[in-house]
C-alpha cells in the first residue's frame, strides 16, 4: 500500500513539473528550482509602456525581448535582430529577425508584430517620439524584415531601439500592440525567456514567472541586457515584503534568495553573514538631481537658479543619503561619469558649497526673498535626506526655504501641477535617475526644454532644444560629444536641474545563488541556484 502511495506521489510530482516547466522527466523527478526575490517595489502595472516605473521594466525584461540591447559596457548589440543594413545615404535601415523567435502562445514572431510594437512604444517614450519624428516609412516587406526609412539622417536609431531604461522598446504580438497606447494592456504574452503566470499574480503579495522551454537564446555569453538569455531556474517568485528589516531577516533565514536593494544602514548586518554576498548589479548607477520649477518665482529667474549651482555641495548629499563612499561618486558632469559623454567642462567650480559665490550671484539676480518651496519625500530609502540637506545650504546662501514634507506618491502627484505657489504649487523637488536614463541630451528627460510640452518643471529654452535636435541628427560620435558639451554649458546659463552625484545600490543574495549579470535593470536569466 505504501509503495502504491509513493508511486502515485512521484507520478504526480513529475506531472506537475512537466506542467510548470514543459520538461519531461524520466526516472526520479528532479526537484523544481525556485528563486525567491524581494524587489524594491510591488508589481502593480504589467504594461511596461504605460508607466516608467522601474518595477514594470524589470517585469518587461522577464517576459519580453528587444530588437537591440546594451551590454555591460553600455554598447548597443543585436538581440532579436540577426543582421541589419544601412543605406549609403543613411536613410534606410533594414533589420532581419533571427530564426527561432516565438511568442509564448506558440505563434512565430513576425516583422509586422515588431512594427506595431515600435509604434505603440514610440507613442509613449520621449526618445521614441524623437525617432518617429524623422521616420517617413516603417513597414514589414516580409515576415522577417523590418524596414525603416528616415526623412533625414538620424544618429540615435540603434541607441533608441536598444535603450535599456524606461520606456524600453519591448516587442509584443501585433494583436496586443495595435491597441490604444494610452490604455493598459492586460495580455502579458511575450517572446522572452520567462512566462508570466498571471493566474498566480497577487499584487501586494507576489508575482510568478516560469522558464520558457521554447526560448532560443543567442549564442553569445550574457552581457548586460544583451547576449544569451539562458534560464537556469524553473520558477521565479517576486515576493512583496514592504519592510526592509523584514526583507533582511528573510534573506538571513534563507526564506528568500535575493534582495534587490539593501539600505546602507542594514548593509553591515549582511556583510557579517558568511552565507550572504553583496553585489552591485547596476554598475552605471544612478544620479541624484534637484529639479527646478521655472514657472514661478523665484526660479523663473535663470540667474537665481545659477546661484543654486554654487550653493549646493554634492558630497553632503551623498554622505547623508548613501553614507558609504564605496557606493557613491562625486560627479560634476551633466552626463554620467564613466559614460562616453562625461565632461566637467564649465562645472569644475560648481556643486562644492561655495556660499560666498552663491550669495553674490543671488544679490546680482535681485532675489526678493520669495520662499523656495522644497517638496520633501519621507518614505523613499536613500532619498529621504535630500531636501533636508539642501535647506541649510540654500539658507546659508541667502534663500528663504519652506520645506514641505510628504510621501513620495503625494510628491509625484503634486509635481505635475502648474498651480502658483500660493495655491499649492512648488519650487523644487529631488529625485534620482538611472545613469542610463541620462546618457545623452535626448534621453535625459530633464533636458527637454519644450515649455508646456516638457516634463514637470517646464523649462523653456529654444537654444537648448536646437542643441538637442542637432545631437539627435548627428551621426559622428566626436561631433555628438562636442554638441553634448555645448548642452552642458547652456545648462549653466539656463539651469534645468542640478546633478547631485552618482551612487550605486548594493544587492544581497544567498551564497548559493550565482550568475547575476551586471545590467542597468534587474535581469534574472543566467542566474543559477545550487
List the domain boundaries for the chain: 2-32, 64-184, 286-503
Specify the pLDDT at position 31.
Answer: 84
Architecture of domain 64-184 in this structure: Alpha-Beta Complex (3.90)
Cα–Cα dist 260/182, whole Å: 30
pLDDT in tens, 329-378: 999 999 999 888 999 999 999 999 999 999 999 999 999 999 999 999 98
What does the CA dihedral 302, 303, 308, 311 come to, rounded to 10 degrees?
170
Specify the pLDDT at position 233.
Answer: 98
CATH code of 286-503, in short, is 3.10.105.10
Strands (E), 110-199: 135-142, 145-150, 170-171, 194-196
pLDDT in tens, 233-278: 999 999 999 888 999 999 999 999 999 988 878 888 899 999 999 9
Residue 526 φ then ψ, to 5°: 75, -10
Local confidence band at 11 (pLDDT 50, 70, 90 cut-offs): very low
Long-range Cβ contacts of 466-473 (<8 Å, 24+ apart): 467/441, 468/441, 468/442, 471/155, 471/440, 471/441, 471/442, 472/130, 472/154, 472/155, 472/156, 472/441, 472/442, 473/134, 473/152, 473/153, 473/154, 473/155
Q: What's the alpha-carbon Rg for the chain, to the nearest Å?
A: 25
pLDDT in tens, 207-230: 999 999 999 999 999 999 999 999
- 505: β partners: none
In the chain, the percentage of residues whose pLDDT exceeds 90 is 72
Q: Is residue 7's pLDDT more than 90?
A: no
pTM of the model: 0.80
Residue 346 φ then ψ, to 5°: 85, -15
303: number of Cβ within 10 Å: 15
Closest C-alpha among 402, 387, 374 to residue 293: 374
In the chain, the percentage of residues whose pLDDT exceeds 70 is 94
Specify the pLDDT at position 28.
Answer: 52
Residue 111 φ then ψ, to 5°: -60, -35
Please tell me whether residue 176 adopts helix, strand or coil conformation: helix
Q: Is residue 6's pLDDT more than 60?
A: no
Distances, alpha carbon 186 to alpha carbons 44, 64, 183, 210, 315, in Å: 12, 14, 9, 18, 44
Residue 154 C-alpha cell reads as 538620424
Q: Is residue 8's pLDDT more than 60?
A: no
**Helix 302-311 with 477-493: angle, nearest 10 deg:** 100
Mean pLDDT of the chain: 91
Specify the pLDDT at position 20.
Answer: 39
Specify the pLDDT at position 2.
Answer: 34
3-state SS string over 136-157?
EEEEEEECCEEEEEECCCCCCH
Q: Which residue has the cell 556660499?
A: 355
- 277: β partners: 509
Cα 14 to chain centroid distance, Å, stands at 39
Task: Please report which helix (H) or strand (E) contains residue 174, including its range.
Answer: helix 174-177
Cα 445 to chain centroid distance, Å, stands at 12
Distances, alpha carbon 407 to alpha carbons 61, 141, 232, 379, 477, in Å: 28, 50, 39, 6, 42
Local confidence band at 29 (pLDDT 50, 70, 90 cut-offs): low
Between the two ends of the chain, the Cα-to-Cα distance in Å is 35
Task: Please report which helix (H) or strand (E) contains residue 429, including its range.
Answer: strand 428-434
Task: Please report which helix (H) or strand (E) contains residue 159, including its range.
Answer: helix 157-161
Specify the pLDDT at position 23.
Answer: 44
Q: Is 171 left (phi over 0), alpha (psi -120 to 50) or beta?
A: beta
Cα–Cα dist 480/43, whole Å: 37
Local confidence band at 101 (pLDDT 50, 70, 90 cut-offs): very high
Amino acid at each position: 500500500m505504501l509503495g502504491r502511495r509513493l508511486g502515485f506521489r512521484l507520478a504526480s510530482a513529475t506531472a506537475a513539473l512537466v506542467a510548470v516547466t514543459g520538461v519531461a522527466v524520466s526516472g526520479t523527478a528532479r526537484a523544481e528550482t525556485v528563486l525567491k526575490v524581494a524587489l524594491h517595489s510591488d508589481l502593480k502595472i504589467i504594461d511596461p509602456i504605460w508607466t516608467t516605473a522601474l518595477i514594470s521594466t524589470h517585469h518587461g525584461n522577464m517576459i519580453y525581448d528587444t530588437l537591440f540591447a546594451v551590454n555591460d559596457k553600455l554598447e548597443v548589440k543585436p538581440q532579436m535582430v540577426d543582421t541589419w543594413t544601412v543605406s549609403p545615404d543613411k536613410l534606410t535601415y533594414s533589420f532581419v529577425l533571427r530564426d527561432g523567435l516565438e511568442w509564448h502562445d506558440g505563434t512565430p514572431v513576425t516583422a509586422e508584430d515588431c512594427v506595431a510594437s515600435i509604434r505603440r512604444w514610440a507613442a509613449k517614450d520621449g526618445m521614441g517620439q524623437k525617432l518617429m519624428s524623422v521616420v517617413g516609412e516603417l513597414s514589414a516587406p516580409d515576415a522577417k524584415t523590418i524596414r525603416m526609412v528616415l526623412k533625414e539622417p538620424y544618429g540615435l536609431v540603434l541607441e533608441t531601439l536598444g535603450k535599456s531604461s524606461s520606456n524600453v522598446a519591448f516587442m509584443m504580438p501585433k494583436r496586443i500592440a495595435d491597441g490604444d497606447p494610452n490604455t493598459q494592456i492586460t495580455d502579458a504574452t511575450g517572446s522572452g525567456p520567462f512566462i508570466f503566470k498571471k493566474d498566480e499574480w497577487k499584487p501586494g503579495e507576489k508575482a510568478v514567472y516560469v522558464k520558457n522551454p521554447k526560448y532560443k537564446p543567442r549564442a553569445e555569453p550574457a552581457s548586460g541586457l544583451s547576449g544569451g538569455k539562458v534560464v537556469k531556474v524553473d520558477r521565479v517568485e517576486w515576493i512583496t515584503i514592504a519592510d526592509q528589516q523584514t526583507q533582511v531577516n528573510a534573506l538571513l533565514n534563507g526564506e528568500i534568495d535575493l534582495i534587490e536593494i539593501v539600505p546602507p544602514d542594514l548593509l553591515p548586518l549582511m556583510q557579517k553573514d558568511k552565507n550572504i554576498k553583496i553585489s552591485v548589479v547596476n554598475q552605471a548607477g544612478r544620479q541624484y538631481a534637484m529639479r527646478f520649477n521655472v514657472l514661478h518665482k523665484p526660479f523663473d529667474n535663470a540667474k537665481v537658479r545659477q546661484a543654486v549651482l554654487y550653493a549646493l555641495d554634492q558630497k553632503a548629499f551623498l554622505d547623508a543619503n548613501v553614507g558609504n563612499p564605496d557606493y557613491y561618486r562625486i560627479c560634476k558632469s551633466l552626463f554620467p561619469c564613466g559614460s562616453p559623454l562625461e565632461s566637467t567642462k564649465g562645472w569644475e567650480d560648481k556643486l562644492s558649497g561655495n556660499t560666498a559665490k552663491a550669495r553674490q550671484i543671488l544679490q546680482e539676480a535681485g532675489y526678493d526673498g520669495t520662499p523656495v518651496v522644497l517638496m520633501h519625500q519621507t518614505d523613499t530609502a536613500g532619498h529621504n535626506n535630500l531636501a533636508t540637506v539642501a535647506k541649510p545650504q540654500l539658507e546659508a546662501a541667502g534663500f528663504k526655504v519652506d520645506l514641505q514634507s510628504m510621501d513620495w506618491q503625494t510628491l509625484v502627484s503634486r509635481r505635475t501641477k502648474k498651480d502658483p505657489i500660493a495655491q499649492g504649487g512648488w519650487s523644487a523637488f529631488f529625485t534620482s535617475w538611472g545613469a542610463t536614463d541620462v546618457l545623452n541630451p535626448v534621453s535625459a528627460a530633464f533636458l527637454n526644454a519644450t515649455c508646456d510640452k516638457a516634463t514637470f518643471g517646464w523649462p523653456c529654452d529654444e537654444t537648448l532644444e536646437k542643441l538637442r535636435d542637432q545631437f539627435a541628427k548627428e551621426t559622428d560620435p566626436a561631433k555628438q560629444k562636442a554638441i553634448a558639451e555645448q548642452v552642458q554649458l547652456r545648462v549653466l546659463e539656463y539651469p534645468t536641474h542640478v546633478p547631485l552625484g552618482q551612487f550605486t545600490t548594493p544587492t544581497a543574495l544567498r551564497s548559493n545563488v550565482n550568475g547575476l549579470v551586471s545590467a542597468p535593470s534587474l535581469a534574472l536569466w543566467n542566474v543559477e541556484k545550487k
